[in-house]
Amino acid sequence: MTGLPDLVVVVDDDAELRASIEFLLSTAGRRCLGHASAEALLAAGLPPGTACVVADVRLGEGIDGVALVEALHRRGEPVPVVVITGHGDVPLAVRAMRAGAVDFIEKPFAAERLLAAIVEAASRQAPADPAAAEAGARVAGLTPRERQVLQRLVAGEPNKLVAHGLGISPRTVETYRASIMQKLGCRAFAEAVRVALAAGLGP
């Protein structure tokens, strides 16, 4: 795998998952440093050469991934952050992206998906105005109703709540969702959320 940043810092309170990610990155020929909490990373500081941080959005009893992203930005260390999230944590992951994270990946995820996200994150150290323009153009291809559905999904509403709010059936929401994914050219919902946020469409 080529194009990965030199050093990836992994923050996860799940020792098994953290070790798995570290092993994956080491087999890809990249240096990796692990921390069990956001506090541990903030206390140690980011090592020279850090090009990306991978952090779970929920970090046990300590501060979460959103607070970690915010803290790094306050300290003048806006390193690209990819957050990992469980299915029920999508609204929290969206908050992390609004705070400055560049992507989120839902569990369970494929190794190639994580590696691709890290490569993409490392390339985003410069302002992403072109990406925002591209995202805006893609969202512009949606119908008004599709944009309404997408905005509610990005806010973390389940299909049934979206349906109730818009006065349509859950099955119709599923149909809209499939159409949205196709029009945006996204295979995973996390990608669609990223496009929506980059285009300014969100809660």
Question: Per-residue pLDDT tens for 51-79?
Answer: 889 999 888 888 888 889 888 888 777 78
What backbone torsions phi and psi does residue 91 show, to the nearest 5 degrees?
Answer: -60, -35
Please give the structure tokens belonging to residue 179.
């159409």
The phi-psi region of residue 195 (left if phi > 0; otherwise alpha if psi is between -120 and 50; otherwise beta) is: alpha
| For range 181-187, the mean pLDDT | 89
Distance CA 203, CA 196 (A): 10
Residue 74 lies in a domain: yes
In a shared domain, residues 20 and 60: yes
Give the domain CATH number at 15: 3.40.50.2300
In a shared domain, residues 27 and 49: yes
Residue 2 lies in a domain: no
pLDDT confidence tier of residue 92, bands split at 50, 70 and 90 = confident
- In one-letter notation, the amino acid at residue 202 is G
Distance CA 88, CA 10 (A): 21
Give the domain CATH number at 173: 1.10.10.10
DSSP conformation class of 199: T
Residue 189 lies in a domain: yes
pLDDT at 37 over 80: yes
The count of domains in the chain is 2
pLDDT computed for residue 1 by the predictor: 41
Residue 137's contacts (CB-CB under 8 Å, 6 or more residues apart) are: none
In a shared domain, residues 151 and 193: yes
Residue 182's contacts (CB-CB under 8 Å, 6 or more residues apart) are: none
DSSP sequence for 132-198: HHHHHHHHHTS-HHHHHHHHHHHTT--HHHHHHHHTS-HHHHHHHHHHHHHHHT-SSHHHHHHHHHH
- pLDDT tens-digit series, residues 122-158: 776 544 445 667 778 888 888 989 989 998 888 888 8
DSSP conformation class of 200: T
In a shared domain, residues 117 and 134: no
Domain boundary among 122, 155, 174: 122
Please give the structure tokens belonging to residue 12.
């996860």
In a shared domain, residues 63 and 117: yes
Residue 184 lies in a domain: yes
In a shared domain, residues 67 and 29: yes
Domain boundary among 122, 156, 189: 122
Domain boundary among 96, 122, 148: 122
Which domain covers residue 152, as residue numbers?
129-198
Residue 203 lies in a domain: no
| For range 74-89, the mean pLDDT | 80
Residue 50 lies in a domain: yes
Residue 170 lies in a domain: yes
pLDDT at 3 over 80: no
In a shared domain, residues 116 and 184: no
| For range 112-122, the mean pLDDT | 85
The number of beta carbons lying within 10 Å of the beta carbon of residue 23 is 12
